[in-house]
Structure 1
Amino acid sequence: MSGSLAAITASTQLRRWSHALDLLESSRHLRLKPSAALYTAAIDACGAGGRWAAAVKLFDELQSMMTPDVACFGAVISAFSTGAVWERCLSTLTSMSEWRIDVNIACATEAVAASCTGQRMKISTRCRHVLVWLLLGCTEAIKVTVTLPAKEKKCFGEQAARMELLFVELSVADGSKVGVTVLSPHATIFSEHDRQQVKTAFTTQEAGPHWVCIQNDAPSAAEVLLTVLLGPEAKDYSQVAKKEHLEESQIALRRVEESLRNYHSNVLYIRAREERMRQTNDSTASRVIFFCLFNVFLMIGVGGWQMLYFKRFFRLWLRKETTSFMAACPVTAKSLAGNTSHVAPTANER
């Protein structure tokens, strides 16, 4: 089996798709059960040879035999990209979600390449059809099972834009009751206590982190299943499609539009926070500079005052000591005065 896989891989590199199909057929005659890797290599060979129809046939055979993996989907999407069949790329990405396989960057890149190889007027629409699956594959949501000890509290946060739909669902597995609180950056949006199951949805009124806090006041631990959906993931587009009679492509574009709107709101929120932080930094820097200058002038002023003070102090001290010495020794003082009177006058005194 490994030899057949290596041979088919070599055929892929040489773009000999017919030789790869012959090798796959020979493995069937030998009653060897082909693996997903073998089919993936054969699909790659067909895609490299520009035979996307043969690649689809192999992919259908693989789906009838086993569950395809992300490498198989990537190979068939690459074949569609070679043939510029963007509609089949969209259906293949849809089937990935049906098989519960996450869309990765490689599959999305190949799909974008296939969707943007048509006329210039159709590039934007086709790219939107494919980018929605990239957004769906990369959309983050919170879905966790938490074992909450007794008398403890845990919080889970999610960054939300303004006017964005937020859905919170909570259920306790063992029949215990917990308290749930949903917090916005500056207010409490929702609060319930002693509940076994909670389901709520609301539209955010301000951008920023929103927190879902679970409080277990019971004397025993509780196992909690928490689901938090945000933006397009929180909206039921099937009901919107029935109400407005929308097609699948229109629903996809609607999801992309809402995702981009939320992304733009988050960018504006981050920009506002950055501007506020810059103003705070500038204000702090100006205050620090003013404080440093004040300290410099204060030290200069205190130093000058100390010099004047000590100069005056030592003059007074010297005068006081001289007066005390003359009062204590009058004879010595008179002799000093006499010696001073007999000193010869200087030229200026003459």
Structure 2
Amino acid sequence: MSPSQVASSRLAQSRGSARGVWGGRRSLLFLVCLLALLAERAGAFQAVVELGPGQRRCVGEQLSRHVLVVGEFHIIYPVAATSQGGNMLVVAEDPVNHAPIFKQQGKDHVRTAFTTALTGTHTFCVSNTGRLKLTVDLRMVWGPEARDYSQIAKAEHLDEVMVQLLRLQDRLKLYHANVLYMREKESKMREASDSTASRLMTFCIVNMVLLVLAALASAYYFKRFFRSKKII
């Protein structure tokens, strides 16, 4: 083999290895972008609300079935929250009957955790049943963000890579469940729209038929009337 052929062969090998490295980097970049996208869609909400006497504030979140939800409600004002803790009422309601999934009163720091049984907008409400103004810090997480992966890693002896893959798998499951719910909701809305359009079309056809019949009846009546009067 001539020196030029050897050089060409080495150049082709280096290009092939460079393509392989670039392909691996592209796959890694795609995975990082996917993780970032899913992280943006991660389920978490935090806010500070002020409640006057008798006021109630609610937060609704669209959740699918079998989703872990963890909520924390903490009175940050007044500082002597122990004496005012009994004035905070925390209620979590289901999306269908608005029945209370969780309800607690009498504490300045309330923490709840449950798994959703229905798909829909779950409502979380905090009320001030006292006569003094309250400032409440509320924080809610759901889905993968509500799971303690450090405890899972210790229990199942998982390394960091496996934990991240497990987190990614849970986020993909949650995303897939949300997509299925949106498709189901879109299908129901389409069926309702088609049913409404069909009823409207039937109503228009019936009105047109009635108008034609009324016109024919009027023409027949007036024709007989004019003939009886010998006008025509």
Deviation, 1:154, is: 1.2
Aligned match of 2:24: 118
Size of the aligned set, in residue pairs, is 203
- Identical-residue share of aligned pairs (%): 38
**Residue 117 of structure 1: how far off its partner (Å):** 4.2
Match of 1:91 in 2: none
Is 1:251 the equivalent of 2:163?
yes
The verdict on how the C-alpha distance between 1:306 and 1:194 changes in structure 2, with shifts beyond 3 A counting, is farther
Supply the AA of the counterpart residue of 1:151: G
Q: CA deviation at 1:213?
A: 1.2
**Which of 1 and 2 has higher RCO (CA within 8 Å, sep 6+)?**
2
Residue identity opposite 1:179 in structure 2: L
Aligned to 2:119: 207
**For 1:141, what is the secondary structure of its paired residue?**
strand
Contact 1:132 1:255 survives alignment (8 Å): no
Task: Describe the shift of the 1:216–1:137 C-alpha distance in structure 2 as closer, same or farther (beyond 3 A).
Answer: same
Aligned to 1:101: none
3-state SS of paired residue (1:118): helix
Equivalent residue for 2:65? 162
Deviates more, 1:189-198 or 1:297-306: 189-198
**For 1:132, which of 35, 40, 62 is the aligned residue?**
35
Q: What TM-score do the two structures reach when normalised by structure 1?
A: 0.53
Report the secondary structure of 1:190's partner residue.
Answer: strand
Provide, for residues 183-239 of structure 1, a one-character-per-residue CA deviation record: whole Å limited to 9, x for no partner.
221142222344432111111112222111122222222101101101111111111
CA contact (8 A) 1:182 1:191 kept: yes
SS in 1 for 2:24: coil
Q: Does 1:172 align with 2:75?
A: yes
| Aligned position for 1:223 | 135
| Alpha-carbon distance in structure 1 between the residues aligned to 2:131 and 2:68 | 35
Greater share of residues in helix? 1
Contact 1:132–1:253 (8 Å) recurs in 2: no
C-alpha separation in 1, matches of 2:222 and 2:180? 62
**Maintained 8 Å contact 2:65/2:118:** yes
Partner of 1:151: 54
Q: 1:308 to 1:131 in 2, by over 3 A?
A: closer
Corresponding residue of 2:92: 182
Evaluate the alpha carbon distance shift between residue 215 and residue 146 of structure 1 in structure 2; reply closer, same or farther with a 3 A threshold: same
What amino acid sits opposite 2:75 in the alignment?
Answer: V
Gaps of 5+ in 1: 1-83, 85-114, 320-350
Q: Report the counterpart of residue 225 of structure 2 in structure 1.
A: 313
Deviations 1:116-164 (A, max 9, x none): 74389xx47x854674355335524111110112212111122222211
CA deviation string 1:268-317 (max 9, x = no partner): 0000011111111111111111100000000011111112222333444x
Task: Tell me if structure 1 keeps the 8 A contact 2:69–2:114.
Answer: yes
Q: Structure 2 CA distance, aligned partners of 1:163 and 1:138?
A: 18
Is contact 2:43–2:143 with CA below 8 Å preserved after alignment?
A: no
Q: Is the 8 A contact 1:149 1:216 kept in 2?
A: yes
Aligned to 1:233: 145
2:178 aligned to which of 266, 288, 301: 266
1:301 counterpart residue number: 213
Matched residue, 2:14: none
Aligned residue identity for 1:165? L
Q: Which structure carries more strand by proportion?
A: 2
In structure 2, the gaps of 5 or more residues are 1-17
- Does the residue aligned with 2:121 lie in a helix, a strand or coil? strand
Instruction: Give SS of 1:300's match.
Output: helix
